[in-house]
Every structure is written in structure tokens, then in C-alpha cells.
A and B are shown apart, each in its own frame.
Chain A
Amino acid sequence: QSVLTQPPSVSAAPGQKVTISCSGSSSNIGGNYVSWYQQLPGTAPKLLIYDNDKRPSGIPDRFSGSKSGTSATLGITGLQTGDEADYYCETWDGSLSAVLFGGGTKLTVL
């Protein structure tokens, strides 16, 4: 059971938009930066979003991040079949002195 709660799965049609939520508490999301990672099957995770809403160079603007209070959200627009992957949120927890990952969300593009 992860401290950061993500839905196990989401799905949408190609071209549509999807959002993935990540819920935490004041000791983690509420007081620290949130990052998001994409893990394609059989590959290492890849940084998608950092500092809550910033994209590294090379990440298309179809991917967006936001944070409000103790929750964060990853948005993906213009869905493509190549976006099918597992997505993880991540942040620091000041009370636990630990890095936390969400349980992961499997995105299916129907």
C-alpha cells in the first residue's frame, strides 16, 4: 500500500485526454515538489514532469502537471498508442525522510 495513491488504471481513445491523480498528505505532496515518470514496457522509467509542472527538454507539451494542496495531477492530451505505459508520481516525505513513489497507473489507449 503506497503512501501516494494513484488509480491502478485509466483508459481513453486515441486523440482524447486523460488525467492521472496522485493523492498524498501535507508531509509529502503538500510541502514538496512532485515529479512524474513514464515507464514503457521493458524499459527504465523516464522523467516526464518535475517541480510539479515543468517538462524536461524533449518532452512534448501534450504532457502537463499540476499540484493543488496535497494532490497532484498528470494530464496527457492527444493520446497516442505510444503513450501506453505505466505512470508514477514521486515526491519527498519530510516526516519519513524518504522518497515516495505512487503505486503506478497503467494507461491503456483503446
Chain B
Amino acid sequence: LAKTTQPISMDSYEGQEVNITCSHNNIATNDYITWYQQFPSQGPRFIIQGYKTKVTNEVASLFIPADRKSSTLSLPRVSLSDTAVYYCLVGDPKAAGNKLTFGGGTRVLVKP
């Protein structure tokens, strides 16, 4: 299972763009990159998933360079409610079992 490395924490202000970079040097050919958001006392919530280049949905964008050894989650114009822990995970979603190994995550604090 590919290991991921993320910053422990990041501070931001309302209305700013937050970019969280995740390193996954040992990513395998069939691995996808998935980001989750977790609020206290809740289960992780799926944000976005991608394989290469750029993926965008209604809440975030995911940038993946050609070598796929890292990825950046971009949260546009954050609000106070975006304060949470963000996890980057790497794995083959089609593989039997498809275990996800959670790293430490990035604790994002959005200030007013």
C-alpha cells in the first residue's frame, strides 16, 4: 500500500483558497488518489477522487502531476465550516478488498 505524507496542519481565513499537497512516491499504476474530509465525531466524507491530471467537482479540485507522485487538493473560498481534518489516500479501488490506510491527515483551521 502506497504511503502518503501530508502537512500536519494548516491555517487559513474565510474566503481564501486552501491547497493541501500530499506526497505518495510509491503510488502504483492502478492506484487512484482519494481525499476525504472528517469533522469531529463523524465518519470521513468523500470529497474527490482522481487518477491523473485534474479533476473538479462542486466542492474541490484535485491536481495530479504527470508522475503522480504527489497531488494537491484545492478548496476554493473556504468558510468556517470547512474546518476539519483532510485525508489523502491512495489505493486501487477495483482490487479485491481495496484496503485504505489512513495517514495522519491535515488539520485545517479556517479563521474568521
Asked if chains A and B come from one complex, the reply is no
